[in-house]
Amino acid sequence: MPSTLEGQITMEKTPSYFVTNHAPKRIHSMARDIKLIIVVRNPVTRAISDYTQTLSKKPEIPTFEVLAFKNRTLGLIDASWSALRIGIYALHLESWMQYFPLSQMHFVSGERLIVDPAGEMAKVQDFLGLKRIVTDKHFYFNKTKGFPCLKKPEDSSTPRCLGKSKGRTHPKIDTDVIRRLHKFYKPFNMMFYQMTGQNFEWELEEDSESRGSQD
């Protein structure tokens, strides 16, 4: 990590940290007072998004339905498949809580980040002890991608939007598979809500993944 002067905050982003077993211990040994920001979304939507990304690079891979089950007839879900395993947030959070208190963690709702980016960024800035510099005027919604883009209100430069790998239309997944995955994740979600003290309300979205959504 680069040197940080007084009055500065150094930030670094690597999504795989949260699901890497040895990451909490190594980060704690480097900077035990570090603040951690974790962005989470409905694990079912997240798994489909993960699959969509892989499919774009490897179009020959089996269908989502095939990869998600050890035995579909018996309803045995393959939790060892990384696309599904990553979404068991409670399991990963347990590893982090062995080294860091919840007071050093801030959880961002991926769903709310899309519909209210300024609101979520206000919470992040408060968590980091920063002035609320980033506000509504820094965002506009890109209807093509289905995501908000960041802009600088003081100039006319081109807004910064998510790259080409984001905003892909998800493949249509069998509704029975969606239902089974929601049932699989529900106890883990409940545990995660209890651990974080936040209700992300993913159970209210059980019908949304069966319709066309975006990555």
Binding site feature residues for 3'-phosphoadenylyl sulfate: 41, 49, 166-170
Going by the annotation, the residues of the binding site are 41, 49, 166-170
For every residue of the chain, DSSP letters joined together read -----TT-------GGGGG-TTHHHHHHHH-TT--EEEEE--HHHHHHHHHHHHHHH-TTSPPHHHHHEEETTTTEE-TTSHHHHTT-HHHHHHHHHTTS-GGGEEEEEHHHHHH-HHHHHHHHHHHTT------GGGEEEETTTTEEEE--TTS-PPPB---TTSSPBPPP--HHHHHHHHHHHHHHHHHHHHHHT----GGGGTTGGGS--B-
